[in-house]
Amino acid sequence: MNFTEFIQTRVFVRHFIISVVLSTVIIAFVISMLKWYTHHGESVTVPSLVGLTPSQIEQLETIENFEVIVVDSVFDSRQPKGSVIIQEPLPGSHVKKHRKIYLTTVALLPEQVSMPSLVDLTLRQASSTLETYDLILGGISYVPDIAANAVLGQFFKGREIAPGTPILKGSVISLRVGQSMGNGKFQLPFLLGKTRSEALLILERYYLTPGEEVFENDADPETARVFSQSPAFSKGLMVNAGQPVNLVYRDPAVFDFESFLEMMGADTLDMQQDTLF
């Protein structure tokens, strides 16, 4: 019996039909089990975890549908320590149950950096370097020296700090800066209405030191503007180099600085001030 005759026999046809039926049943069973195992067609919505602390996340009713994993942490002094700042997948995404959510949180302590060498840099260069290292420029003291406007010393908490010393990001560094051998007197600038960064830059140009800074009603330092200064501005008033100037800030969203400055004739004062540069 050849092959063609064999496949036409009842025995072959019966076994072929049985094998097809069994294969179909097995395939259908496997597909059904896969759908059950993978929860095919089922999904849950990813909650927003940004801004929440670990204890707050644990209290969420839907968090049991996910596996939460912290993969990184960064220091941010503006955010609560331990709170979430980045999550993946994003809030509102539709995913299957028990999906992993990867979080980046705010570090409990700031990172450390190596203290840079600021000596012999200009004050402007030193200020930029501190910003690069996430350090804060604090008080500036001026001393008579031939190296005018050059950094002569760098200090942390009142003590000189050597380059390369490990220090936490956000630390305040004070500088000793050389002052020209002139009479050491400088015009007191008009700072009202200026942002904090503008006011500090102007004080630097006039060889003056930022004193106490007060932010009324928790005004944001990034957007607050100077409401008052002490000593108060007076045309022709000269002060010693290094003189601290105290500043009070208000939120421009709740205080009308435009009317305030117009009342004080700030445009004229600014023009007088610009002629000094």
- 226 contact partners, CB below 8 Å, separation of at least 6: 191, 192, 193, 194, 195, 196, 199, 247, 248, 249
As beta bridge partners, residue 189 has none
Same domain assignment for residues 120 and 175? yes
Greatest pairwise CA separation for the chain in angstroms: 124
Rg, the chain, Cα only: 34
Same domain assignment for residues 167 and 221? no
Q: Is residue 19 part of a domain?
A: no
Q: Please give the pLDDT value at position 94.
A: 86
- 242 contact partners, CB below 8 Å, separation of at least 6: 140, 141, 142, 179, 207, 208, 209
Q: Please give the pLDDT value at position 173.
A: 95
Last residue of a domain, one of 106, 134, 155: 106
**What whole-number distance in Å separates Cα of residue 212 and Cα of residue 203?**
13
What's the predicted TM-score (pTM) here?
A: 0.41
Same domain assignment for residues 276 and 197? yes
Which residue range forms the structural domain that includes residue 209?
A: 184-277
Same domain assignment for residues 132 and 142? yes
CB 84 within 8 A of CB 58: no
CB 36 within 8 A of CB 15: no
Same domain assignment for residues 91 and 120? no
CB 102 within 8 A of CB 93: no
Q: Please give the pLDDT value at position 104.
A: 92
The amino acid occupying position 216 is: E
Q: Is residue 204 part of a domain?
A: yes
Number of continuous H segments (helices) and E segments (strands) in the chain:
7, 16
Same domain assignment for residues 152 and 237? no
CATH number of the domain enclosing 65: 3.30.10.20
Over the chain (277 residues), what is each successive 10-residue block's mean pLDDT? 69 82 86 68 83 89 88 81 90 86 87 92 92 90 78 92 92 86 72 93 83 92 94 86 88 92 65 43
How many domains does the chain contain in total?
A: 3
Same domain assignment for residues 166 and 196? no
Q: Please give the pLDDT value at position 269.
A: 52
CB 75 within 8 A of CB 104: no
Q: Is residue 167 part of a domain?
A: yes
Q: Please give the pLDDT value at position 277.
A: 43
Q: Please give the pLDDT value at position 275.
A: 37
Same domain assignment for residues 197 and 263? yes
Q: Is residue 155 part of a domain?
A: yes
Last residue of a domain, one of 79, 106, 133: 106
Same domain assignment for residues 204 and 272? yes
